[in-house]
Structure 1
Amino acid sequence: MLQLRQEARETWMLAWPIMIGQLASTGTSFVDAVMAGHVSAGDLAAVSVGASIWVMLIVTLIGLNLAASPLIAHAVGARREAEVPALVQQALYQGFFWALVAWLIALLAAPIFPHLGLPPDVAAKAHGFLTAVSWGLVPFSLFRVLYGYSASLGQTKPMMVISLIGLSLNVPANWMLIYGHFGFPALGGVGCGWATAFCMWVTLLLMIGWIRFSSSYRATYPLRHWRRIDWVRQRELFRLGAPMGVMFFVEVSAFGGIALLMARLGTTSVAAHQIALNVASLTFMIPSALGTALTVRVGHALGAGDTHRAREIGNTGLVLGLIIASALALMIILGRHHIASWYTNDAAVLTLAGVLLLYAGAFQFADATQVVAAGILRGYKVTRQPMLIHLTAFWLVGIPLGYVLAFGWGGFAGRGAAGYWQALVLALVCAAALLVWLYLKKSRASLLR
């Protein structure tokens, strides 16, 4: 028991700055939704639909760029720090490539909004938002690589400080660009996109500066003596990162992509879905940060050859995840009406958002468990099977069932937006159960080697 408490304390000390940093990063979406929602329900709907594609892109980039983290953690655990600079450089090359691909996808996707059944003004604003915010994809992707590098060294407070600075800049930038102050035009929801892209560049520059001047990175400083592209290392990064990118995309598309399908239900459903999704995205960052910390700690233990400690760290992490989920679920369910009122004054949107937030609270247990288990498995360098689990749970169960529950099938009358959320709760339960089973299987096998 004493050992478990010690492992929990060490994991928490690494995780809590990541939690604050990720909440601050996701807080920009919260600020965007709140400030756009107080312009009009149409602006909130436009940001919702535009952000559904933006969020799918950046979450996929997070997954793709996670490949370096377990590799660096294993190297640090094995005392092979000399390998780290070249590894980070190769990850930056790949991160830049993925960002360019994401940017191209954003530009190609922007013209689809008029074909989703949205009112013309909402479709135009969604197009403008996505075009503007896509300028932040390159700095975001490079920042995430450096983020993983720093976390793998046990340096998590820089990301917290930098993300808080980015959030603090987002508020005045939104204020100027949404409402038109200091000579800027009043862009409404489109202004959120330009403000977010600006803050992405600022956070990248701050991260580069921190790494350059902090002594904590001196032994592994990666931003000098640049090597050429190492195709062997690129394949290794791709082999680990591609399944994680797919896994993250599968989950986020099940949530964000539904906003596109939900457009036919009307502006009220889209806006209410955005409120519930935004709250769920914020709370997701807390167990997600725990998963990131567990990737590092499990990777360090396995790099040092200590498989027993790796399993203890993983088991403790699952318990911590459930404790965190309990607190989040209670907060959302009891405060759902108050939370919804932060976003809008529209009575119809408030009523539906209150219903959807019940589901957002209910799935906290499954969501926290699956993201923590996936983080532990990354520490074991296991990424392909979690990808297949997510594909099964979300695309074969969640989205098809959600469509039927939302719009109906045969003699079954659809339940509207609530139907999608009911299906997503079931998908998360499936993913959580299978990922925990996979972790127990892999950790047990490692003990027998």
Structure 2
Amino acid sequence: MSLSPVRSPRAVRTEIASLWKLSWPMLVGQLATVGMSVADVAMTGHVSADELAAASLGASVWSIVLVTVMGVMMAINSIVAHEVGAGQFGRIPHTVRQAMWKGLGVGLLACLACILATGLFAHVGIGEAVSERATAFLAIISLGMPAFGCYRALYGYTTSINQTKPIMVIAILGLLFNIGVNWLLVFGNWGFPQLGAVGCAIATAIGMWLMLGAMLVWIKFAPAYRQTYPFTHWEWPHWPEIGSMLRLGLPIGVTYFAEVSAFGAISLLVARFGAVEVSAHQIALNFSSVVFMVPLSFGVATTTRVGQALGEGRARRARFAARVGVWLSVAFGAFSAAGIALFRWDIAGAYTSDPAVQALCAQLLLMTALFQLSDAAQVSASSAIRGYKVTRQPMQIQLFAFWGFALPVGCVLGLAPEWFPWSPAKPMAANGFWIGLVLGLTIAAVLLTWSLERLARSRILENQNQRRDARVCGSTS
């Protein structure tokens, strides 16, 4: 008797190959996107300390809003994946058009949120000059948010029909454009005005609109989109459908916001311990965010594979795809954990030549290595759950893990408040906060993988009951 397809090593290899085919262009695209912010910081840092501070402060707010928009717009990934699996290709163009309206609305609200957030800069004690530059940076860069919301709608559409190459190509072109315009406007080359941090904001805002334009052109002319081309005619917003997309996407946005804002809050709390603590924390955080792009890309691909299987009515195949996606991410987590632990001093030395910062950074990178497995497991499991069109439960789990556990535990260990009976004898500073993160991510990984298995089993039972009922109805008719 032949092995079940779910247990066959050949089936596992085939699924891994399918996941990798979807993931690697997205990974390159994600790294290129991260490279834009790296380029902004690196280039403004060669102008002046004030320009670097302005760009960093503005980008800290902008990145929280940006990631939240990404989460809200992720609903289209699972919706289109289900439609692809069900063979409802005629339905996809309408879904994409409504997602574009949703992206435009979410982008406009994000633009308004960024502009309102500029009022915070006058109250954080950074000096009037830096506050004014950060305000200008955030106000200008926010103008790209409507384009980004629409771009993420097309991003979800194109990944869900198994087309990821345009994401990679457009992101690389966006990075090159960002670096080139930064060189002109940040430093004032070729007769352009030297605008510093504001030049970065202009480059990024224009780049977002150009990336949207490039994606529209690609979809217009690439043969792979002909069957589902969404822009054959004009269509006004259909509010009930947009509301349904928001109900699915808002919990993902809240989840992303919870994670990014928790890391942002830790950055602010660590600042009181001085430049060494802040620098080491930021280096470890920056490096871990780059490594995180790999399991994140696997997670987006897993959402597509699970959604397509469920659209086909194959609940066992969906569970198989989810399990392979999680284990592939965890395997990478084990590999990255070993690499970070072994080369933590080399990584720290590549970022800074300060011995004190290197020493503390090496300690934090060791903790970064500890949470690689749990971080990979939680992002892949939550992505697989979203493939089932379930978003509220991952939101609740991750809100608890980050804001209900990791941040409070980090505050107790890092700040050692005298009023708390079980505080350490003295503040553990950045180390304490990172211990909280390790524990919080572990809790999130355990709860999310348990929830995924439970959800997958329930869908298989539902599928079996539906088939049994269909057989009974057929035999009695």
TM class by shorter chain equals: over 0.9
- Given the alignment, which residue of 255, 258, 264 partners 1:250? 258
From 131, 142, 154, give the equivalent of 2:150. Answer: 142
Deviation at 1:105, TM superposition (A): 1.1
Deviations 1:382-413 (A, max 9, x none): 10100000110111112222223332211642
Q: How far 1:92 moved relative to its partner?
A: 1.0
Partners of 1:396 and 1:327 lie apart in 2 by: 29
For the 8 Å contact 1:52–1:256, the answer to whether it is kept is yes
Q: Tell me what 1:232 maps to.
A: 240
Matched to 2:398, the amino acid is H
After superposition, what is the alpha-carbon deviation per residue over 1:13-50, rounded to whole angstroms, capped at 9, x for unaligned? 11111111111111212222333344456554443332
Relative to structure 1, the CA distance from residue 403 to residue 367 in structure 2 (aligned partners, 3 Å threshold; closer, same or farther) is: same
Match of 2:200 in 1: 192
Residue pair 1:116, 1:263 contacting (<8 A) in 2 also: no
Residue 428 of structure 2 aligns with which residue? 415
For residues 62 and 11 of structure 2, the distance between their equivalents in structure 1, rounded to whole angstroms, comes to 42
What is the alpha-carbon distance in structure 1 between the residues aligned to residue 32 and residue 231 of structure 2? 26
Change (3 A) 1:78 1:27: same
Structure number with greater CO (CA < 8 Å, separation at least 6) is 1
Q: 1:257 to 1:105 in 2, by over 3 A?
A: farther
Q: CA deviation at 1:138?
A: 1.6
**Any idea what the Cα deviations from partners look like across 1:202-244, whole Å, max 9, x if unmatched?**
2111111101111111111112312221122112101110111
Q: Is contact 1:332–1:361 with CA below 8 Å preserved after alignment? A: yes
Q: Give the alignment's TM-score, normalised by structure 2.
A: 0.88
Q: How far apart, in 2, do the equivalents of 1:430 and 1:313 lie?
A: 23
Shift of 1:288: 0.8
Q: One-letter code of the match for 1:420?
A: F
**8 A contact 1:325–1:364 mirrored in 2:** yes
Structure 1 CA distance for aligned equivalents of residues 363 and 53 of structure 2: 18
Q: 2:443 corresponds to which residue?
A: 430
Counterpart-to-counterpart distance in 2, 1:384 and 1:5: 32
Counterpart of 2:185 (choices 173, 177, 182) is 177
Q: Partners of 1:272 and 1:109 in 2: how far apart?
A: 27
Specify the code of the residue in structure 1 equivalent to 2:437: L
Hey, what does 1:445 align to over in structure 2?
Answer: 458
Cα separation, 1, equivalents of 2:42 and 2:276? 15
Please show how residues 56-67 of structure 1 align to structure 2 within 5 Å: 56-67=64-75
Letter matched to residue 182 of structure 1: W
Change (3 A) 1:129 1:409: same
- Could you tell me which amino acid in structure 1 is paired with residue 115 of structure 2? L
Deviation of 1:97 after TM superposition, in Å, equals 0.9
Tell me how far apart the structure 1 counterparts of residues 365 and 44 of structure 2 sit (CA, whole Å): 20
Residues 406 and 185 of structure 1, relative CA distance in 2, 3 Å threshold:
farther
- Please, which of 395, 398, 410 is the counterpart of residue 402 of structure 1? 410
Alpha-carbon separation, structure 1, partners of 2:258 and 2:345: 29
Gaps of 5+ in 2: 1-8, 463-477
The answer for the alignment partner of 1:107 in structure 2 is 115
Which of the residues 354, 364, 375 maps onto 2:383? Answer: 375
Percent identical among aligned pairs is: 45
Deviation at 1:332, TM superposition (A): 3.3
Letter in 2 for 1:115: H
Taking the aligned partners of 2:67 and 2:382, their CA distance within structure 1 comes to: 15
CA distance in 1, matches of 2:58, 2:278: 11
Q: Secondary structure at the match of 1:299?
A: helix
* C-alpha deviation, 1:271, in angstroms: 4.1
Q: Verify the 8 A CA contact 1:64 1:244 in the aligned structure 2.
A: yes
SS at match of 1:154: coil
C-alpha distance in 1 between matches for 2:267 and 2:184: 27
Q: Give the ranges of 4+ consecutive aligned residues of structure 1 lying more than 6 Å apart after TM superposition.
A: none
For residue 325 of structure 2, what is the aligned residue in structure 1?
317
Q: CA RMSD in A?
A: 2.2
Q: Check the 8 A contact 1:73/1:303 in 2, yes or no.
A: yes
Unaligned residue ranges in structure 1 (runs of 5+): none
Instruction: Give 3-state SS (helix, strand or coil) of 2:389's partner.
Output: coil
Task: Please say which structure displays the higher CA radius of gyration.
Answer: 2
Partner Cα separation in structure 2 for residue 226 and residue 368 of structure 1: 41
Q: Indicate which of 67, 74, 84 corresponds to 2:82.
A: 74
Q: Which amino acid letter does the alignment assign opposite residue 440 of structure 1?
A: E
Pick the aligned partner of 1:298 from 285, 303, 306. 306
The superposition leaves residues 291-319 of structure 1 with CA deviations (integer Å, 9 ceiling, x where unpaired) of 11111111111100111111111111111
Shift of 1:366: 1.2
The amino acid that maps onto 2:241 is: R
- Cα deviation per residue 1:176-208 (whole Å; 9 max; x = unaligned)? 233221223333344332222222222111111
